[in-house]
Amino acid sequence: MLVDKNLNAAKKTKSMINKEGGESFVFKADIIREDDCRRIAEKCVEVYGRIDILVNNVGIGEGDRKLVDLSEEMWDKIFNINLKGMFFTCKYILPVMEKQESGSIINISSVAAVCAVRYVAYKISKSGVNSLTHQLAMKYAKNGIRVNAIMPGLMNTPIAIEGMARSTGRSKEDIIEMRNSMVPLKGGMGDAWDTAYAALFLASDEAKFITSVMFPVDGGQSSKIG
């Protein structure tokens, strides 16, 4: 079930799944609207009869500023999308998983939650994602529900590179070179597949004894000291 408020984006993912021989369907919803999140859970149960995996892969950072320059409007927007949306989806998916006595929830956080970064609202909202993950993991472990977070590091994705280019006025080439140099592991930045493979593992039975983990996928970035 591919959920997005932009159906064209969901359809692109569906076409990739089709090419691999998989099956999926798209569903339009805005995760900052509670009723939309209720409908997500209802539709998934209607189509599949159960909910085994929830991947909360939504977040923004563009528009964030240092504290004294950050507007209330932008603070609220970042927190609504990055944290409130995960609260809503979990609120309506967890009762289904409770009845099944099984399920895996994977929240996409960021190494910004544990590293020093320039901006405020993004970091604090992702720290909230980690806290939400820990809270739910401990609350629902007895129900056979695993809850983990992935903390991606510097990724070479269009949203990350183009967003920074717009906010700084630097060329995309300069930004890519700078971000590559910050990653300890040879090869520089990761990409979206690195996060996807981590999510696949955490969703699988191979991770059946793993819960409440904040899993860095960052080429060692979050381990740098000094």
State the Cα torsion 81-57-192-25 to the nearest 10°.
-120
Residues carrying an active site annotation: 122
What is the pLDDT at residue 168? 84
pTM of the entire predicted model: 0.94
Q: Return the SS3 of 91.
A: helix
Q: Reply yes or no on whether the pLDDT at 209 is more than 80.
A: yes
Question: Beta-carbon neighbour count of residue 7 at 10 Å?
Answer: 14
- pLDDT tens digits for range 35-80: 999 999 999 999 999 999 999 999 998 888 889 989 999 999 999 9
What is the pLDDT at residue 163? 79
Segment 137-156 shows an average pLDDT of 97
What is the pLDDT at residue 164? 83
Confidence of residue 226 (pLDDT cuts 50, 70, 90): low
What is the pLDDT at residue 147? 98
What is the pLDDT at residue 162? 86
Alpha-carbon distances of 179 from 40, 157, 160, rounded to whole Å: 36, 12, 10
State the DSSP H helix or E strand holding residue 85, giving kind and residue range, or none if neither: helix 85-100
For the domain covering 52-223, report its CATH number.
Answer: 3.40.50.720
What is the pLDDT at residue 4? 97
N-term to C-term CA, the chain = 43
All structural domains of the chain with their residue ranges: 52-223
- pLDDT tens digits for range 96-106: 999 999 999 99
